[in-house]
Structure 1
Amino acid sequence: KNAGGMTVVTNAGCSGKYIGVLDFDIKDHRVVGYNYKMLPILTDFVKPDAAMVSFITKMRNTKYDENVVEARSSAMSNNMDRLDKTYDEILTEKLCKTDQTLYRRGNFMGTWDQVLVNSLREEHDPDFAMSAGVRWGTSVPAGHDVTMEDLMTNTSMTYGETYVSELKGAQLKDILEGIAENLFVQDPYLQSGGDMVRMGGMDYTIDPAATLGNRISEMKDDEGTTIDPNKSYKVSGWAQVGSVGNGRLMWDVAADYLRKQGTLDLKKVNHPTIKGVKTNPGIENYAGKLI
């Protein structure tokens, strides 16, 4: 609701899962009602386009060669382990099974996000790991195999290098506060896209309705120790836009982590505690704690 009446906002999801259908009831040149529904796309009910099937098959049977560019860094541009394999062979590799549904749809955290930050922590041995707050990528139901293709839908981009940096506790809070301001500032014209950054190895409380500098509190590591604002911490991450990290590509880091699991069982997911939204239907069935 706003001063001009009511604005209808819709979001039909991603990855070709749904089509959003918004019907308006118009009388006397005015909208007097509306109905919104999400129609699931059942792939098996849609006859494949023969030309597109042929193109996809051709691409998947193409072999990976030395001309492939995976990274901005020339040192990581080509992965020799993939050389002369077809893309189908690469993408259909079964990395592990999962005991939990892997998803990335959460506003604050998801199990796929936990896989990524766990991978970064294993690779770089930091105190904490950060992964961008995005929700694209396909889900994997519990009990299923996790393939390289599943992983690539969640990580493939043109700036997938990983990195390690040193940040003081106060700087970490400033980063979280800045991202929260982009998302929750009251003026919608000042809000930015994306979701809250995903943190690995850290728990915190967030109050979306608070003001800049006052949203983030109770920052603690996985052992329950409060983050010291004056202490330096080793932090790893990926997908830097303004600079090029010197760590391996995120999909290779995560693939190695998953290959070691056998059956993936995430013992902990760093869902932040959210304050003041218990009655908000948009956060229904939140996997973390609401206060």
Structure 2
Amino acid sequence: MNRREFLQILAVAAAGGMGLSNSARAAEQAAAKFYDLPRFGNVHLLHFTDCHAQLLPIYFREPSVNLGVAGARNQPPHLVGDYFLKHYGFAPGSAQAYAYTCLDFEQAARQYGKVGGFAHLATLVRRLKAGRPGALLLDGGDTWQGSATALWTKAQDMIDASLQLGVDIMTAHWEFTLGTERVQEVVDGAFKGKIDFIAQNIKTADFGDPVFPAYTMREMNGVKLAVIGQAFPYTPIANPRYMVSEWTFGIQEANLQKTIDEARGKGAQAVVLLSHNGMDVDLKLATRVRGLDAILGGHTHDGVPEPVVVANAGGKTLVTNAGSNGKFLAVLDFDVKNGKVSDFRYKLMPVFANYLEADPAMAALIDKVRAPYAAKLAEPLAVTDDTLYRRGNFNGTFDQLILDALMAEKGAEIGFSPGFRWGTSLLPGATITMEHLMDQTAITYPYTTVTEMPGSQIKTVLEDVADNLFNPDPYYQQGGDMVRVGGLRYSIEPGKPAGSRIGDMSLNGKPIEADKKYKVAGWAPVAEGAKGEPVWDVVARHLRAHKTIGKLALNEPVVKGMQGNEGSI
């Protein structure tokens, strides 16, 4: 152990509330204790979600803006920075502050290192399962998309990694952008008899037949457990409909209640929902159905250290969300007595790659699947002087880089880039490789577009996306963040009604005219038949030409009416 490693372990040990020692051995023991979670009860669930195909450890900066409106204002998950630390009692500068917030990100990243990585996650899973007989590993989806190798192998790298990791049960979202045939090929092939792929809310478009099992029943330590699947309900809206044209989605409240009742009728003493709704949707859903002991949620990438306890007609439901990019592993232990859950323990555990040894078998698998693409992944494109990240309601520096490239390379006045939440981060001084670029752009519909749009249509686009994000009714929110905008300046008032949130639109200091047409570059069109140069080719060309990326001027809207909102630093 070198001095740097020793000091890092001490830092983690101290963050965990443990005393420091002068010996390296004691420091190693303290680091091990950081991940020592005593067994509780008789039903054990491990949960990760939204890893977005990140097999290796990464940096990932959490948002500085995650606004909550209406009933979600200043409530989890809409807390950032110091507000988050105060709410959960974490110390500034601690390992938890690094894991959950963007505070002092560059300094903290260099102190605590990278997060996630399937080889390190595998070590933690193995350790926790060893102390929890029968424990199940649940995958909340968005696993097969988000990296170059996942795109180029049609997710075979992630399928193999999931099997190696020991995933037991899974639901999905971005998986469907590989097409229904590919999903069914995996479910009926590699996963058959090994991983239960469940979704109570996906039906055939013709006769309304279930496409996948709604739930799976397991017995653990003498207790019957039901896990119900909830795939992303807005897949045909947020992603191309033609990719899932034969299926319908939706929240399907009534069918969910029917499924819960059926599972209870078959003797389930504990029932959980493995959800990809997004946390705000799950919080509302928990008030409207009865009989769920917990919702293990994903989609909105919120790392929430403690469950929110929601009251409903049947009692109480725990609502959780387990972050993204392999940064966290959630552990939910139930104590089931007399046919029902009597108590629980929950822990969301950050996965620090520096403090968990890489599992040899998983590391070997990762090396194998990456080997054919190593040279292409490692191609250097440019060096960044700025921290590059994508996360937050309105913009991120990597988003800004994409926008700048689109406008420059396509000769456009305005750029639009989707408000995707996935995408890794880079520290100043890092070389931007093709792999890093693909981490931001690896989708099956990467086409760039150039469109002449009147000012009135531009406003309509912004208003529609704003309503998807800030509608006071969570059931009308579709996840994701605000479309990222280049060139155009505007203001937004999230608390206003639909159609009246966007104002002060201008370009180069001049007001946008409703009838005037503007040249707009974008990417990721959802319309069937769309074609165009892949976005990664456009941005790579821009990066190669510039070689160095300086400090980026972040184009964010003027936000109105959000004074005192703890979802903004």
Normalising to structure 2: TM-score of the pair? 0.42
Aligned length: 258
Spell out, residue by residue over 1:162-218, the C-alpha distance to the aligned partner (whole angstroms, 9 max, x if none).
Answer: 111111000000111111111111111122121110111111111111011110001
Is 1:247 paired with 2:557?
no
**Aligned twin of 2:328:** 18
Aligned partners of 1:134, 1:240: CA distance in 2, in Å? 13
Match of 2:422 among 110, 125, 136: 136
2:511 counterpart SS class: coil
Name whichever of 151-160 and 36-45 sits farther off.
36-45
1:282 counterpart SS class: coil
- How big is the shift at 1:125? 0.7
**Equivalence map 1:61-100=2 (5 Å):** 61-62=371-372, 87-100=373-386
- How big is the shift at 1:144? 1.5
Aligned partners of 1:209, 1:30: CA distance in 2, in Å? 39
Q: Which has the larger radius of gyration?
A: 2
- How big is the shift at 1:112? 0.7
Gaps of 5+ in 1: 63-86, 286-291
**Aligned twin of 2:402:** 116
Is 1:153 paired with 2:439?
yes
- How big is the shift at 1:102? 0.5
- How big is the shift at 1:23? 8.3
1:160 counterpart SS class: coil
Aligned partners of 1:233, 1:266: CA distance in 2, in Å? 27
- How big is the shift at 1:272? 1.0
**Equivalence map 1:165-184=2 (5 Å):** 165-184=451-470
**Aligned twin of 1:229:** 514
1:161–1:244: 8 Å Cα contact kept in structure 2? Answer: no
**Equivalence map 1:194-209=2 (5 Å):** 194-209=480-495
Aligned partners of 1:260, 1:31: CA distance in 2, in Å? 62
Spell out, residue by residue over 1:105-148, the C-alpha distance to the aligned partner (whole angstroms, 9 max, x if none).
Answer: 11111001001111111121111111110110110011211111
Aligned partners of 1:183, 1:114: CA distance in 2, in Å? 20
**Equivalence map 1:249-264=2 (5 Å):** 249-264=534-549
Aligned partners of 2:401, 2:375: CA distance in 1, in Å? 23
**Aligned twin of 2:364:** 54
Is 1:42 paired with 2:352?
yes
RMSD: 2.8
1:166–1:232: 8 Å Cα contact kept in structure 2? Answer: yes
2:563 alignment partner AA? K
Higher normalized strand content (fraction of residues): 1
**Aligned twin of 1:126:** 412
**Aligned twin of 1:270:** 555
Structure 2 CA distance for partners of 1:24 and 1:265, relative to 1, 3 Å: farther
1:96 counterpart SS class: strand
2:415–2:521: 8 Å Cα contact kept in structure 1? Answer: yes
Aligned partners of 1:176, 1:35: CA distance in 2, in Å? 42
Aligned partners of 1:219, 1:25: CA distance in 2, in Å? 56
- How big is the shift at 1:243? 3.1
Structure 2 CA distance for partners of 1:9 and 1:246, relative to 1, 3 Å: same
Structure 2 CA distance for partners of 1:19 and 1:58, relative to 1, 3 Å: closer
Spell out, residue by residue over 1:35-78, the C-alpha distance to the aligned partner (whole angstroms, 9 max, x if none).
Answer: 9775321123333333332222222222xxxxxxxxxxxxxxxx
Name whichever of 155-164 and 140-149 sits farther off.
140-149
Structure 2 CA distance for partners of 1:267 and 1:151, relative to 1, 3 Å: closer
Structure 2 CA distance for partners of 1:217 and 1:251, relative to 1, 3 Å: same
Aligned partners of 2:333, 2:493: CA distance in 1, in Å? 35
1:218–1:226: 8 Å Cα contact kept in structure 2? Answer: yes
Aligned partners of 2:481, 2:535: CA distance in 1, in Å? 19
Spell out, residue by residue over 1:81-126, the C-alpha distance to the aligned partner (whole angstroms, 9 max, x if none).
Answer: xxxxxx1111112211111110101111100100111111112111
2:437 counterpart SS class: helix
Aligned partners of 1:108, 1:31: CA distance in 2, in Å? 42
2:350 alignment partner AA? P
Spell out, residue by residue over 1:230-277, the C-alpha distance to the aligned partner (whole angstroms, 9 max, x if none).
Answer: 101111111112234443111111111112222211442111111111
2:510 counterpart SS class: coil
- How big is the shift at 1:155? 0.6
Is 1:219 paired with 2:505?
yes
Aligned partners of 2:419, 2:436: CA distance in 1, in Å? 18
2:482 counterpart SS class: strand
1:238–1:245: 8 Å Cα contact kept in structure 2? Answer: no
1:209–1:276: 8 Å Cα contact kept in structure 2? Answer: yes
Normalising to structure 1: TM-score of the pair? 0.79
1:224 alignment partner AA? G
- How big is the shift at 1:31? 9.2
2:397–2:552: 8 Å Cα contact kept in structure 1? Answer: no
